[in-house]
Amino acid sequence: MTSAHKIPRSVLVVIHTIALDVLLIERADHPGYWQSVTGSLDAEDEPPAETARREVLEETGIDAALHRLVDWQFTNEYEIYQQWRWRYAPGVVRNTEHVFGLELADRVPVTLAPREHTAHLWLPWQEAADRCFSPSNAAAIRRIPEFVSRRDADR
């Protein structure tokens, strides 16, 4: 059952190609705010991986099941920006964000949810990190080479 308030647990999904190009999307409610896919759990018992798949499809039209979704096994905890606290229960000021990577063979067409995002860009990972408004999103993007190295070592 979906609560009237957002659950202060969310996902961040860094969508990137094998060549390390990163997809960024611009927020409709804050032009100039570029980010990766994000979204809150719909229910306390929704697994974060399911949230990640759902949010990627909703926000970009990309079916994560056709690509390599990896739980990067770390979370960010941060203070919720003041302008978005009204979405949460009174007194909730912190969010825990589960970080995932979605690796694509190459850039794919993107279909944005127009109420949420107005534009998208594919950028080399360093440029994408510099463009993000969120420090935790930028930090996650800067870790892509680490996760790609782990993937290659596991092969």
> What's the total number of domains in the chain?
1
- Strand partners of residue 34: 26, 132
Q: Note the pTM of the prediction, 2 decimals.
A: 0.92
Task: Retrieve residue 102's tokens.
Answer: 């979605």
CB–CB of 137/35 below 8 Å?
yes
d(CA 97, CA 140): 11
Domain of 13, in residue numbers: 9-154
pLDDT at 4: 86
Please, what are the averages of pLDDT over each run of 10 residues along the chain (155 residues)? 81 97 96 96 96 98 97 94 92 97 97 95 98 95 88 65
Whether residue 121 is contained in a domain is answered as yes
Whether residue 3 is contained in a domain is answered as no
The CATH number of whichever domain residue 150 belongs to comes to: 3.90.79.10
d(CA 38, CA 29): 14
d(CA 106, CA 58): 20
